Structure 1
Amino acid sequence: MSQDPFVSESIELLKKMVATPSLSREEGAVADIFEQYLKSFGLSPERNGNNVWVKTAGFSAEKPTILLNSHLDTVKPSSAWKYPPFVATDPGDRIIGLGSNDAGASVVALLAAFRKLEQSSQPYNLIFSATAEEEVSGDGGVASILKELGPIDLGIVGEPTQMQMAVAEKGLMVIDGEVAGRSGHAARDEGLNAIYEALPVLEWFRTYQFPEQSEFLGPVKMTVTGVESGSQHNVVPDVCKFMVDVRVNEFYRNEELFQLIQKKVNCRLQARSFRLNSSSIPVDHPFVIRGEQLGLQKYGSPTTSDQARLPFTTVKIGPGDSARSHTADEFIYKKEIAEGVDLYLHLLDGLNINSI
Structure 2
Amino acid sequence: MATEQLAADLVRIKSLSGGEAEIAAFIASHLRAKGLSPKVDGRNVLCSVGKGKRSLLLNSHLDTVPPNSGWSMDPFAAKKAGGKLYGLGSNDAKGCVACMIDAFTSLDVKTLKGKVILALTCDEETGGQGLETVLPKLGKLDGAIIGEPTGLGICNAQKGHLMLKVVAKGKSAHSSYPEKGVNAIYKACEGIGVLRKMSFSRKHKALGLPTVAVTTISGGTKRNVIPSECEFIADIRSTPAYSHDELIRMVKKKLGKGMEVVVHSSRLVPKETSADEKIVKAAKAVLGTSVRGSSTMSDMVFVDCPAIKLGPGNSHMSHQADEYIEISQLKKGVAAYKSIIERFLAP
TM-score, scaled to structure 2: 0.83
Matches within 5 A, 1:244-263: 244-254=234-244, 257-258=247-248, 261-262=251-252
Segment drifting more, 199-208 vs 148-157:
199-208
- Secondary structure class of the residue paired with 1:272: strand
1:10 to 3, 8, 25: 3
Give the structure with the higher percent strand: 2
2:291 is aligned with 1:298: yes
Query: Which runs of 5 or more structure 2 residues have no equivalent in the other structure?
Result: none
Match of 1:74 in 2: 64
Residues 228, 79 of structure 1: CA spacing in aligned structure 2 closer, same or farther, 3 A cutoff? closer
2:128 is aligned with 1:139: yes
2:311 is aligned with 1:321: no
Residues 226, 125 of structure 1: CA spacing in aligned structure 2 closer, same or farther, 3 A cutoff? same
1:176 CA drift (Å): 1.0
Residues 244, 55 of structure 1: CA spacing in aligned structure 2 closer, same or farther, 3 A cutoff? same
1:252 CA drift (Å): 4.2
2:147 to 141, 158, 161: 158
Aligned-CA RMSD value: 3.4
- Secondary structure class of the residue paired with 1:117: coil
Match of 1:285 in 2: 277
2:164 is aligned with 1:171: no
2:41 is aligned with 1:41: no
For residues 161-192 of structure 1, the C-alpha deviation after alignment (integer angstroms, 9 at most, x for no partner) is 11011222222222112244566899799887
Matches within 5 A, 1:209-288: 209-225=199-215, 239-254=229-244, 257-258=247-248, 261-262=251-252, 265-266=256-257, 267-288=259-280
Q: Distance in 1 between matches of 2:326 and 2:219?
A: 49
Residues 140, 201 of structure 1: CA spacing in aligned structure 2 closer, same or farther, 3 A cutoff? same
Contact 2:160 2:268 (8 Å CA) reproduced = yes
For residues 38-73 of structure 1, the C-alpha deviation after alignment (integer angstroms, 9 at most, x for no partner) is 112221212211100111232x4x32x221111112
Q: Which amino acid aligns with 1:287?
A: I
Q: How many residues align?
A: 343
Q: Distance in 1 between matches of 2:140 and 2:121?
A: 18
Q: Which amino acid aligns with 1:40?
A: A
Q: Distance in 2 between matches of 1:232 and 1:94?
A: 48
Query: Which runs of 5 or more structure 1 residues have no equivalent in the other structure?
Result: 1-7
Segment drifting more, 309-318 vs 106-115:
309-318
1:195 CA drift (Å): 6.9
Q: Which amino acid aligns with 1:343?
A: A
2:340 is aligned with 1:347: yes
Residues 199, 353 of structure 1: CA spacing in aligned structure 2 closer, same or farther, 3 A cutoff? farther
2:325 to 332, 345, 353: 332
Q: Distance in 1 between matches of 2:100 and 2:62?
A: 13
- Secondary structure class of the residue paired with 2:63: coil
1:344 CA drift (Å): 1.8
Contact 2:112 2:346 (8 Å CA) reproduced = no
- Secondary structure class of the residue paired with 2:308: strand
Contact 2:162 2:238 (8 Å CA) reproduced = yes
1:31 CA drift (Å): 0.6
TM-score, scaled to structure 1: 0.81
